[in-house]
């Protein structure tokens, strides 16, 4: 049976929510081996066993803090994949996941598919978006090792309890790297991460100010949703770039996407059209967004959103 590796992305000693879906995707290809880079494999053993990880490898190297040395981290993942006979290495297509998977792929001289929407190990193909979400491309992967980053929320996480065993794997890696991460500024955080959310409520240009975004925050609270913004809203200074959804912002796939005062631009849709249900709120009955959404409300967002918040609280 093939072994599929999964990079277990963590932050502050917690597993990223989207990792579970990646494990479910990996299980379709064989037995799943998880790779942990922060040294805390033991504390993740139980929850990963719930999703079907049979072996959990604690990758370590003396004198190296992988969170500060992305090149060493990529090398470690590649060495781990080789040592455990991995045929494909998967991870979450997040900023950190993409970076480390790409570095590992260069070490492994493998194929690389990032932001992958579908993977089929039996028929050996992957699918991903092309032309800003306007087309889906299918790639035949060929022989050899494959490294694949999965778009968050594109695979449902399915429970599949197994016994999970932790294996320590210490490596000898060069300690000097060309890249060194010197700090991480979390000042802009406190927002709920867009790519991980199952509900997103987004504001466009008519939001008009930073303060008005509180209206969306209120509504988001009732749904445990994340708040997004269009580029027009970001460029006008109403929201930080980290909240931007779209081709030049975050690519998201929530179950529910509520767009408030969005015209429905191609570039915005490039980042959210794979959402399960899209609801549009717009004053203009002819706004293009109404031709690409599931449900439409013709109305002023400043009226509709507070009413919706109230209805959700009830």
Ligand X SMILES: Cc1cc2nc3c(=O)[nH]c(=O)nc-3n(C[C@H](O)[C@H](O)[C@H](O)COP(=O)(O)OP(=O)(O)OC[C@H]3O[C@@H](n4cnc5c(N)ncnc54)[C@H](O)[C@@H]3O)c2cc1C
Residues that bind ligand X (CB under 6 A): 204-206, 230-233, 244-249, 261-263, 265, 267-268, 271, 281-284, 287, 300-302
Tokens at 192, concatenated: 């709920």
Shortest separation between residue 227's beta carbon and other proteins, angstroms? 11
Shortest separation between residue 133's beta carbon and other proteins, angstroms? 6
DSSP string, 130-152: ETTTTEEEEEE--SS-EEEEEPT
DSSP string, 32-73: EEEEESSS-HHHHHHHHHHHTEEEEEEEEETT--TTT-HHHH
Nearest to 270 by CA among 295, 290, 296, 244: 244
Mark 143-182 with x for binding to other proteins (rule: CB under 8 A) and - for no binding. Answer: xx--------------------------------xxxxxx
Question: Which of 47, 191, 263, 283 touches other proteins by CB under 8 A?
Answer: 191
Shortest separation between residue 66's beta carbon and ligand X, angstroms? 31
- Looking from the CA of 9 toward its CB, the CA atoms found within 13 Å total 25
Shortest separation between residue 215's beta carbon and other proteins, angstroms? 14
Find the binding residues for other proteins in span 264-283 (CB under 8 A). Answer: 265-267, 270, 273, 276-280
242 binds, among other proteins, ligand X, none (CB under 5 to 8 A by kind): other proteins
Measured from the CB atom, the residue of 4 and 297 that comes closer to other proteins is: 297
Region near other proteins per CB under 8 A, out of 26-34, 37-45, 204-212, 287-295: 287-295
Determine the size of the site formed for other proteins (CB under 8 A). Answer: 92
Contact call for residue 132 and other proteins (CB under 8 A):
yes
Find the binding residues for other proteins in span 48-77 (CB under 8 A). Answer: 70-71
Question: Residue for token digits 């072996």?
Answer: 55
Mark 207-236 with x for binding to other proteins (rule: CB under 8 A) and - for no binding. Answer: ----------------x-------------
DSSP string, 230-270: -HHHHHTTSS-GGGBBSTTSB----SEEEEES----HHHHT
Buried-state track 44-68, b at ≥16 Cβ within 10 A, e below 16: bbeebbbbbbbbbbbbbbeebebee
Contact between 81 and 104 (Cβ < 8 Å): yes
Contact call for residue 298 and other proteins (CB under 8 A):
yes
Region near other proteins per CB under 8 A, out of 33-41, 43-51, 157-165, 292-300: 292-300
Tokens at 64, concatenated: 């190296």
- Per DSSP, what are the bridge partners of residue 282? 298
Question: Which of 128, 155, 203, 227 touches other proteins by CB under 8 A?
Answer: 128
Measured from the CB atom, the residue of 23 and 239 that comes closer to ligand X is: 239
Helical packing angle, 301-313 and 213-223, nearest 10°: 20
């Amino acid at each position: 049976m093939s072994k599929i590796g999964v990079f277990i992305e963590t932050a502050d000693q917690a597993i990223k929510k989207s990792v579970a879906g990646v494990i479910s995707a990996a299980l379709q290809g064989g037995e799943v081996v998880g790779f942990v880079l922060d040294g805390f494999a033991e504390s993740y053993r139980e929850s990963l066993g719930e999703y079907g990880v049979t072996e959990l490898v604690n990758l370590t190297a003396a004198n190296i803090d992988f969170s500060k040395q992305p090149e060493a981290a990529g090398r470690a993942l590649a060495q781990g994949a080789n040592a455990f006979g991995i045929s494909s290495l998967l991870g979450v297509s997040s900023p950190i996941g993409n970076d480390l998977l790409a570095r590992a792929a260069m070490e492994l001289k493998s194929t690389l598919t990032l932001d992958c929407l579908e993977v089929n190990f039996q028929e050996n193909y992957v699918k991903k978006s092309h032309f800003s979400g306007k087309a889906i491309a299918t790639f035949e992967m060929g022989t050899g090792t494959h490294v694949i980053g999965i778009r968050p929320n594109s695979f449902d996480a399915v429970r599949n309890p197994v016994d999970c065993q932790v294996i320590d794997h210490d490596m000898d890696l060069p300690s000097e790297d060309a890249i060194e991460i010197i700090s991480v500024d979390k000042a802009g955080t406190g927002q709920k991460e867009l790519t991980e959310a199952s509900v997103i409520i987004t504001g466009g240009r008519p939001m008009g100010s930073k303060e008005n975004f509180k209206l969306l925050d209120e509504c988001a609270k009732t749904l445990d949703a994340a708040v997004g913004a269009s580029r027009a809203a970001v460029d006008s200074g109403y929201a930080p770039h980290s909240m931007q959804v779209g081709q030049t912002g975050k690519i998201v796939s929530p179950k529910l996407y509520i767009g408030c005062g969005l015209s429905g631009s191609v570039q915005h849709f490039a980042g959210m059209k794979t959402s399960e249900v899209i609801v549009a709120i717009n004053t203009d009955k002819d706004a293009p967004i109404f031709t690409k959404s599931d449900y439409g409300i013709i109305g002023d967002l400043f009226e509709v959103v507070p009413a919706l918040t109230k209805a959700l609280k009830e």
